[in-house]
């Protein structure tokens, strides 16, 4: 519920900002055809699949291409701290640098089209990692939210939130 309120707040704040010359008229979901909504859901689904493939490759540079690198970007990290694009990149690069392998096993995913240029994606998953030391760990409960905005014809995450339980060593 908090993620939806946050997304709506971000959307409302964006509506009060002066329009950029490249901005197009936004169509709310209630005015969209089922086909339009489904097409957007498929675009986001494909994008997410590609994103998690890069996560599993531990490729921080490619992973970060799915996020908008602007001063307005916000991240809420698993430890509850707030960060910008660079902080999110550093946090994940530090984590990736300790891993030999990582797999993401989705439990549930929800794509919610808010407008033709704003989509909320929520996920829960399990992540299994092998550290460079050889130790195996599992993050049994990882949940996150990404707010995608269509910018110059491309979907970019403009907000990211992740929560995770502490890793559990695998015997």
Q: What is the 3-state secondary structure (H, E, C) of the chain?
A: CHHHHHHHHHHHHHHHCCCCCCCCCCCEHHHCCHHHHHHHHHHHHHHHHHHHHHHHCCCHHHHHCCECCCCCCEEECCCCCEECHHHHHHHHHHHHHCEEEEEEEEEEEEEEEEECCEEEEEEEEEEEEEECCCCEEEEEEEEEEEEEEEECCEEEEEEEEEEECCCEEEC
pLDDT digits (tens, 9 = 90+) for 125-159: 999 999 999 999 999 999 999 999 999 999 999 99
* Whether residue 9 has pLDDT greater than 80: no
**33-170: in CATH 3.40.190.10:** no
* Whether residue 21 has pLDDT greater than 80: no
Q: What is the pLDDT averaged over residues 58-72?
A: 96
**54 is written with which tokens?**
């890069």
**67 is written with which tokens?**
């996020």
């Amino acid at each position: 519920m908090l993620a939806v309120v946050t997304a709506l707040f971000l959307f409302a704040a964006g509506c009060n900002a002066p329009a950029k010359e490249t901005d197009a008229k936004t169509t709310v979901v209630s005015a969209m055809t089922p086909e339009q909504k489904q097409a957007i859901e498929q675009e986001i689904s494909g994008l997410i699949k590609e994103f998690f493939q890069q996560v599993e490759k531990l490729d921080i540079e490619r992973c970060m291409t799915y996020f908008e690198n602007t001063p307005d970007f916000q991240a809420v990290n698993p430890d509850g701290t707030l960060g910008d694009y660079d902080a999110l990149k550093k946090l994940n690069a530090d984590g990736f640098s300790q891993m030999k392998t990582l797999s993401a096993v989705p439990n549930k995913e929800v794509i919610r089209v808010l407008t033709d240029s704003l989509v909320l994606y929520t996920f829960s998953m399990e992540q299994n990692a092998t550290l460079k030391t050889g130790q195996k760990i599992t993050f049994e409960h990882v949940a996150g939210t990404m707010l995608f905005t269509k910018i110059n014809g491309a979907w970019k995450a403009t907000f990211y939130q992740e929560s995770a339980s502490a890793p559990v060593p695998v015997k």
